[in-house]
Amino acid sequence: MTLRILLAAAAVAAGLAVPAQAQTYPSKNVTIVVSLAAGTGMDAVARIYADRLSHALGKPVLVENKPGAATTLAANAVATAPADGHTLVVLTAIALSINPTLFKQLPYDPDDFIPISLYAKSPFILVVNPQLQANTVPEFIKLAKASNPPLSYASIGNGSLQHMSMEFAKQRFGFEATHVPYRSTSQLATDLVAGHVAASFNEAGLSIPLVKEGKLRALAVTAAQRLPLLPDTPPFAEAAGVPDYEGVSWHMLLAPAKTPRPIADRLHAEMARIVADPEVHEKIASIGLIPNPPMSIEEMQRYIKAERVKWGGMVKQLGLEGSQ
């Protein structure tokens, strides 16, 4: 009888421990690990949310950049971190939807995370060096077909959305182009402006200022609609006559999968309030991203699975499965 009472008491205590832990959360600084370098659009937006989240949680929320290895460094660092809500990560479609098919073996699994907030979608812009004799997508395709040696194009690595977008275009329109992978989008943009590479499906937030300064020429955006900051640049689907094409990444804040659900729910609720703030919307749009309305944790989990089917299928279609 005494043993049963003790076991029952232990079970009750265990059930109450998690809510109590959530009530005292956070007990120290929170770190958001960003999988791209400082100065990128992802980094800029993460810092906007970190600042707002600091005020909401009552503790400093710090941003730590951990770029490299197609975002696997950041993903693995947080997948193996203590599941207490004090270490979070910002990942994109690369880590959760592309890498599982692209890599023969990953140090983490997409199920190692619980989603907190899918707060923005990130279109890319097909940009070229202004010296390139192409002002439209059809002109670019014609030039690429005639070029010998082939034109060079840049991306932030094998299997990135930039890489797959150009490989899709190569297969769809029958031209050759030499892939030049970079470790960071800032170095990529520097070499593109200098003419060391001819073209790239580059991050909108980094490309738009360079386009407005005349240092790059924008031919198309990968979103389904035109961007307010580039109203004269058509969607790639329209410009290339490919109605089924949309290549948009996304920024998602996640925690280790075993994070107590009350803590995950607290973070989710705080982020939902921040995401709904019109001032935050304006800041996100000002750097070329598309604000995403709040989604439930379960909706985000379903979204990740759907994106994995979509992008994993494209990896296979391009013959890149297990290539890394």
Distance CA 36, CA 66 (A): 6
Distance CA 217, CA 211 (A): 6
The domains located in the chain, with CATH, are 28-122+249-317 (3.40.190.150), 124-240 (3.40.190.10)
pLDDT tens digit sequence for 28-74: 999 999 988 887 778 989 999 999 999 999 999 999 999 877 789 99
Res. 11: pLDDT tops 90: no
Q: At residue 127, what are phi and psi to the nearest 5 degrees?
A: -115, 150
| Confidence (pLDDT) at 205 | 81
Q: What is the 3-state secondary structure (H, E, C) of the chain?
A: CHHHHHHHHHHHHHHHHHHHHHHCCCCCCEEEEECCCCCCHHHHHHHHHHHHHHHHHCCCEEEEECCCHHHHHHHHHHHCCCCCCCEEEEECHHHHHHHHHHCCCCCCCHHHEEEEEEEEEECEEEEECCCCCCCCHHHHHHHHHHCCCCEEEEECCCCCHHHHHHHHHHHHHCCCEEEEECCCHHHHHHHHHHCCCCEEEEEHHHHHHHHHCCCCEEEEECCCCCECCECCCCEHHHHHCCCCCCCCEEEEEEEECCCCHHHHHHHHHHHHHHHCCHHHHHHHHHCCCEECCCCCHHHHHHHHHHHHHHHHHHHHHCCCCCCC
Whole-number mean pLDDT of the chain?
A: 89
pLDDT tens digit sequence for 176-190: 999 999 977 778 989
Does 290 or 114 have the greater pLDDT score?
Answer: 114
pLDDT tens digit sequence for 66-92: 987 778 999 999 999 999 999 999 998
pLDDT tens digit sequence for 158-171: 788 899 889 889 98
Residue 35 CA, chain-centre distance (Å), reads 8
